[in-house]
A and B are shown apart, each in its own frame.
Chain A
Amino acid sequence: MSSATIVSLPDQSTARIPKTNFITKENGLLSWLLTGDHKRIAILYLISITFFFAIGGSLAGLIRLELLTPQSDLMATDTYNKVFTMHGVIMIFLFLVPSVPATLGNFLIPIMIGAKDLALPKVNLLSWYLYIAGGTLVLYTMMTGGVDTGWTFTTPLSTHYVNTNVLSTGLAIFIAGFSSIFTGLNFIVTIHKMRAPGMTWFRLPLFVWSNYAASILMVLGTPVLAIAIVLVALERTVGIGVFDPTKGGDPLLFQHLFWFYSHPAVYIMILPGMGVISEVISTFSRKRVFGYTAVAFSSVAIAVFGFFVWEHHMFIMGVSNYSTLVFSLLTMLVAVPSAIKIFNWSFTLYKGSITFETPMLYAFGFMGLFTIGGLTGVFLAATGTDIHLTETYFIVAHFHFVMVGGMLMAFLSGIHFWWPKMTGRMYPEKISQLAAVVTFIGFNLTFFPQFILGELGMPRRYASYPEEFQILNVFSTAGATVLGVGYLLPILYLTWSLKYGEIAGSNPWQATGLEWQIQSPPLTENFAEIPIVDHDAYDYEWLEKMELAKKQQEVSSVG
């Protein structure tokens, strides 16, 4: 295997983690809690989203355990409803939305464009505090009885018919929403204003492009969610009647507002993940991304079209038949840029020199699962089949293929890929390759049966179900167990590697990004001097020349 790897580590007997870096610069809890350093904030985010992921994941475990048998026997239906609501709220608003942008994006975007920090460091810290405030409120809600509206808060159920903590959950999402608005704003300003000399738009790594597209969605979409939540709160407390038909309101209006954010939100979640995949595929096949411009613009196209497809969540809800034509067509169009990306990534492999380290395995997993997730999305975009498939487990499976199979795979790929940069140490390769394979198998076993369940008609959000659906549900629960192991492994061995991992050196993957040309972990100010960029992204020939020049310099200085 040794010839089949690109990993080039420094001599472990002499190598040391650089004494001065962003982790060692200052000590003490306060130096972290009051930091303006984008890298430290990224680490804070990483710890907090992992914490919430663990909670959301445990809730998912409870759901699968309940669904092992047709009766609702593990918990009462009310409890079940609270569990899946919390699972949704935590995973979407506290894990998926901030996952890649707030951790990897925060850490990498300034470095990738050759800047010393984000444009607004204090706003960056503020957005972490808002996230924590939102997260704490969600925990408070959970401790004080939970909420059972589903993460979609459909009115009038959420406004008039449930007695649970709708208001505190709404407030939590409202606050966490501002956290993502500020992050998006920060990225947009930074990418526009702080690129290093020579770093033109078309020299930006694709990771930056995709985060830029996601930031636009965050800034334009999230306020609408905030408005929808405020209206729900007002309706619930003082009964203003915007959504109440007995007062002349329209209950469908809420869904229009909610999905106007929540559909683009899935692109907020997936686009940064696509950026990770571009970086990883290029690095491990030693080639520039096939059709850079097409991949960059497909991100922007997804962001633009993504705003005009929300009604596809409401095809069966008595909207005008003719309006469904428009939204179905636009939804078909938004599928095209995703197809372009998949094929461009595939052809990046063509005539490359491919190695199969863990990030690459996760990236392959992403491509396979995202392809299935995307294609099943077309089943739902076509209005005729949507009637039968919507609101069933087909939706659940489709959504998890895109979000878990896609986004979470991309997140894990990125975490492994940049782990040496963030911590200065390598993760253990063999066990992490095993974890990637286990995750892939467990994922398919969990969610593939759900497509068939959905086609058979099993509705989502059911605590009990007709007996003939049991067998597929047993498969799904068994898969969830495997998947759980797959997620537990990285948490364990990554923690282990903080102390015992091999010293990574500045560029273990021989990658081209600016982040790989500086020490790991980086200095607080990233660059000793601002780099001047004179080459495109993914220019491996430039990298070779640089390495050669460095060696010659060393030889001549020694000589």
Chain B
Amino acid sequence: MDHISPVLWQFLVKWMTNFALFPPEASKIAPQMDALYFFMVLVSLVGLTLVGLLIVGFSILYSKKRHPVAVQIEGSTLLEATWTIIPLGLFLIMFVWGSLIYFRIYTPPANAMNIYVVGKQWMWKAEHPGGQHEIDALHVPTGQPIQLTLISQDVFHSFSIPAFRVKREAIPGRYTSVWFEATEPGQYHLFCTQYCGTDHSHMIGTITVLTPEDYKKWLAESTSGMSLAQNGERLFASLSCNACHNGRPDARGPSLANVYNSKLRLANGQETIADEAYLRDAILNPSEHVTQGYAPIMPTYQGQVSEDGVISLVEYIKTLNSNYRVEQTLNTTGLLPESEPTSKSPSTPKAAPPAAKGTVTP
């Protein structure tokens, strides 16, 4: 056969050896989602066979040759009720089953390790709590729930790991989160699945799942020497945040000690929980998040801090559990301003995307 058409032969061999109907199951949720998926495939096959049998069967039984005169029938309430109620019941089962999985995927457990992911045209930047940065790659250990907190610096992106069956949109100006627990060490695809402009199809990367021991090794080898919180502390000082947020009784800004996850009363009377999203908004858009009892004098840091910087600041504020830490920061004003070796300069709006960038030439 292969002497007739080597190309076709190669093609067929490749197909037979590589044929897959679904991606590898590499996370704890993957087999659960696949169970529902295969249930739906089964229901679809049964439904399709039924419709096919009806059409083909009736076409043979009642073709004009065999059945020259049609018998007029109005309808049948019983039959119609049957094919209303049975599909409805099946769909409701799928609805409940699907929602259970959905809530599981989008409700991170309390013990999850948080990794920040920033999407920008056209790259993914992951930031580990220990300060490790990765571009278009993500290393995670098995057996540990990982929470991803996603945000986009420009347009909508979507962080998709088919082998884990998880996907979450990275939205400009808003944190979103998703979690997974990897089970199988290996390398898996990372895709941006939301169309994001010129190089959308090059916004891909690799997820590397390591055993916990290998992951520890990797962490030690890739550390930049500074954790996210430490980076944040430097930034806190260099932006002079401590000029107002110094924890003193006469300070112009509220104390940030233990502010994370606390209940705040705002100047407009609303009550809110100071989670990551709130802290981010309060830095970038302070006039709408004034704590009761303080004057709206904080300037906006929109455009002055990158999303990476905001993440560092938020992580730092989360570690502040006593005034003592803020006092210490006060004494670090001699530090250099934060530098970000790996991050790109924030893209300017309406800038023309470089046309040929990253195009793979054949």
Contacts and interface: CB of A to CB of B under 8 A. Distances in A.
Interface stretch (A26-34, A152-160, A526-534): A152-160
Nearest to B54: A346
Contacts of B282: none
Interface stretch (B155-163, B208-216, B255-263, B265-273): B155-163
A288 B72 contact: yes
A325 interface: yes
A492 interface: no
A4 B67 CA distance: 10
Nearest to B92: A332
Contacts of A347: 54, 76, 79
Nearest to B349: A160
Residue of B64, B71, B168, B199 with highest tally of chain A CB at under 10 A: B64
Contact of B198 (A148, A246, A335, A346): A148
A452 B21 contact: yes
A352 to B, nearest CB: 5
A76 interface: yes
A203 interface: no
B199 A287 contact: no
Interface in A25-74: 69, 71-73
A353 B69 contact: yes
Give chain B's interface residue range (CB within 8 Å of chain A). Answer: 35 or more
A465 to B, nearest CB: 7
Contact of B201 (A3, A251, A364, A465): A465
Interface residues of A, number: 101
Given A294-B80, A339-B87, A384-B102, A391 B48 contact: no
Interface string A122-153: 00000000000000000000000000101010
Contact of B62 (A150, A353, A372, A386): A353
A356 B55 CA distance: 12
A336 interface: yes
A468 B20 CA distance: 9
Interface string B80-94: 100110011001101
Contacts of B94: 332, 378, 381-382
Contacts of B191: 457, 459
Nearest to A252: B171
Contacts of B193: 390-392, 459-460
Contact of B155 (A154, A342, A456): A154
B162 to A, nearest CB: 3
Interface stretch (B39-47, B133-141, B218-226, B335-343): B39-47
Interface stretch (B237-245, B313-321, B351-359): B351-359
Nearest to B63: A354
B254 interface: no
Contacts of A390: 167, 193
B355 to A, nearest CB: 5
B219 to A, nearest CB: 28
A461 to B, nearest CB: 4
Given A161-B121, A285-B70, A387-B102, A317 B169 contact: yes
B245 to A, nearest CB: 23
A5 B68 CA distance: 11
A161 B349 contact: yes
B259 to A, nearest CB: 23
B6 interface: no
B252 interface: no
Given A316-B168, A349-B59, A456-B22, A375 B43 contact: yes
A313 to B, nearest CB: 11
A388 B169 contact: no
Contacts of B33: 384-385, 387-388
B72 A461 contact: no
Interface string A357-377: 000000010011001100110
A351 B37 contact: no
Nearest to A332: B91
B356 A288 contact: no
Contacts of B353: 78, 161-163
B102 A339 contact: no
A371 B88 contact: no
Interface string B186-198: 0001011111111
B360 A72 contact: yes
Contact of A462 (B55, B68, B72, B200): B200
B56 to A, nearest CB: 9
A321 B155 contact: no
B73 A290 contact: yes
B283 interface: no
B6 to A, nearest CB: 16
Contact of B67 (A351, A382, A468): A351
A519 B105 CA distance: 63
Interface in A284-298: 285-288, 290-294
B97 interface: yes
Nearest to B21: A452
Contacts of B249: none
B76 A291 contact: yes
Given A353-B62, A455-B22, A385 B200 contact: no
Contacts of A4: 63-65
B285 A248 contact: yes
B107 interface: yes
A496 interface: no
B51 A367 contact: yes
B99 A383 contact: yes
Interface in B148-177: 154-156, 158, 160, 162-163, 165-169, 171-174, 176
A372 B48 CA distance: 7
B344 interface: no
Given A336-B84, A346-B55, A354-B59, A381 B194 contact: no
Contacts of B356: 76
A163 B181 CA distance: 41
B201 A353 contact: no
Interface in A226-263: 245-246, 248, 251-252
Contacts of B200: 77, 81, 461-463
A381 B95 CA distance: 8
A304 interface: no
Contacts of B68: 353
Nearest to A290: B75
Interface stretch (B10-18, B228-236, B323-331): B10-18
Given A294-B75, A346-B55, A382-B40, A318 B176 contact: yes
Given A161-B121, A325-B99, A368-B51, 18 more contacts: A4-B63, A71-B360, A76-B355, A156-B155, A161-B353, A292-B74, A315-B102, A318-B168, A332-B94, A343-B54, A347-B76, A353-B64, A354-B64, A381-B91, A384-B97, A384-B99, A462-B200, A464-B201
7 contacts: A246-B302, A252-B171, A290-B76, A332-B91, A354-B62, A375-B44, A386-B102
Those 7 A-B pairs whose CB atoms lie nearest each other, nearest first = A457-B162, A245-B173, A382-B98, A384-B101, A291-B75, A383-B102, A391-B193
